[in-house]
Chains A and B, each alone.
Chain A
Amino acid sequence: MNWLITLFTSTLGRKLLMALTGLFLILFLAVHLIGNLQLLKDDGGRAFNVYAEFMSTNPLIQIVSKGNFFFILLHIFISIVLTIKNRQARGTDRYAVTSGKSSIWSSRNMGILGTIVLVFLVVHLKHFWAEMHFGDMPKVTYDGTEYRDIYSLVAQWFAVPWYVALYVFCMAAVGFHLWHGFASSFQTLGLNHPKYNGIINFLGKTFSVVVPALFAWIPINMFFF
């Protein structure tokens, strides 16, 4: 058991957890996006409501969902530990002059970007997830079965200008977080090899632009059209 403690309290082990939880969250984002895109279907929200009902009741999904919450909390917890330790490592006197020339901005500001994502997560969970699970939801009936009408709740929030603005801004933060984070997690796992670097970087850049852009497009679309 000792070696496990050594591993997970070492700098390398902490980064290992960051990378694994980060990659899981990336997968989660992809699945979440596929669900959200159904909001754009011109069916008065039926497809989205059916999908949301399935996601919030299926027992298997509930287990994955618990895991997802755990991984987000772990990701955040370790990011706080790392950020504090990394600041301490610099010492009491800090540099008077620093230059940003030797690294990209997002790589130096993962903490700030992550905090924006966290603020978003809290707002987002409160408005949608908590309402869906504990709130008093309006109901709709399709083919004789009753569903909670999460679509109209989403549509209601996506008509509020500040909410749409916040949503789009936070998706940009997710994009920047992943612009560095996606490829970074593979480097942390030790996967840095000329045979794979090209594809990892390509996938990372594409994912970090396309996925947040599509997420952001949904409220923009519902707000203006």
Chain B
Amino acid sequence: MKITLKVWRQKDANSKGAFKTYEHSHVSQDMSFLEMLDVLNNELVQKGEESIAFDHDCREGICGMCSLYINGRPHGPLQTTTCQLHMRSFKDGETITIEPWRAKAFPVVKDLVVDRSAFDRIQRAGGYVSVNTGGVPDANEIAIPKKIADEAFDAATCIGCGACVAACKNASAMLFVSAKVSQFALLPQGQPERKERVEKMVAQMDDEGFGACTNTKACEAECPKGISVANIARMNREYFSAITSSYEVMAKGGGD
């Protein structure tokens, strides 16, 4: 396969970036998208040019690092992570545009790499449960209905990739935050911090400068883990009931 790549190149957070075009003729259908970029980077290095910086880690669809916006969609044409996307999803001779995630809260570090520590700060603000000391509890001591356990597990599969923010016309992080809120709100272990969790996480989300949800559902359609917008509705319920009934509110966000 031969393809043309239009890639966003940006020296660092403070420089202005621009697209650069590359003709890439050593592409096989069986390569993953990231392998295709590896081959291109090898060629660039051999030519004495600087390689294209992009994020990746596990390359098996579980770490959420591979944040590329490909032809107008996060992670490209399939609802998966970029590392699980293969060149057979593209046509011979196609022009492929690769951009970084675009969000004020995800500043570009270099080329296609963005800083997603805003997500970490939201997590730190409330995405935890208190762990009690004492004797080891019996397994299955706390009864949880199967359906509820499944719901919580589904929410917990969010890998924090940020595709929801990238896909959203408002760069809203509500799918991510709602997944993290739901995962604990559904389970008995999450009850002690239930109200303050949602208040703090939403406050931190707003502080980071993410947008508001218009319910376009683009996030759900692009999320590699299929997180449902039903979680956003749950987060809204949790938030409205928490803020109208909680005793102590320290909703300034706990992150830095």
Q: Residues on A close to B: CB < 8 A?
A: 2-3, 6-7, 10-16, 82, 85-86, 88-99, 101-104, 107-108, 110, 180, 183-184, 187-193
Tell me whether chain B's interface is mostly helix, strand or loop, or mixed: mixed
Q: How far is the CB of A84 from chain B (nearest CB, A)?
A: 10
- A-contact bits for B107-122, CB 8 A (1 contact / 0 none): 1100000000000000
Q: Is the CB of A6 within 8 A of B170?
A: no
Known: A10-B203, A108-B216. A3 touches B211 (CB 8 A): no
Q: For B103, give its contact among A14, A89, A96, A101 (CB under 8 Å).
A: A89
Known: A6-B243, A97-B72. A89 touches B105 (CB 8 A): yes
| CB nearest to B105 among chain A residues | A89
Q: Is the CB of B206 within 8 A of A91?
A: no
Q: How far is the CB of B114 from chain A (nearest CB, A)?
A: 10
**Across the interface, which residues of B come within 8 angstroms of A107, CB to CB?**
214-217
**Across the interface, which residues of B come within 8 angstroms of A10, CB to CB?**
202-203, 206, 239
Q: How far is the CB of A72 from chain B (nearest CB, A)?
A: 19
Q: Is the CB of A103 within 8 A of B221?
A: yes
**Across the interface, which residues of B come within 8 angstroms of A90, CB to CB?**
102-104, 169-171, 211
Distance between Cα atoms of A88 and B105 in the complex (Å): 10
Q: For B73, give its contact among A89, A93, A101 (CB under 8 Å).
A: A101
Q: Does B236 contact A (CB under 8 A)?
A: yes
30 contacts between A and B (CB under 8 A): A3-B249, A6-B243, A10-B239, A11-B172, A11-B210, A11-B212, A11-B213, A12-B212, A12-B239, A13-B243, A15-B213, A15-B236, A82-B214, A85-B212, A86-B172, A88-B104, A89-B103, A90-B102, A90-B171, A91-B171, A93-B108, A95-B72, A96-B19, A96-B99, A97-B71, A101-B221, A102-B222, A103-B218, A107-B214, A192-B229
Q: For A89, give its contact among B71, B172, B249 (CB under 8 Å).
A: B172
Q: Is the CB of B19 within 8 A of A191?
A: no
Q: How far is the CB of B90 from chain A (nearest CB, A)?
A: 14
Q: Does B192 contact A (CB under 8 A)?
A: no
Q: Which of A12, A99, A192 has the most CB of B within 10 A?
A: A12
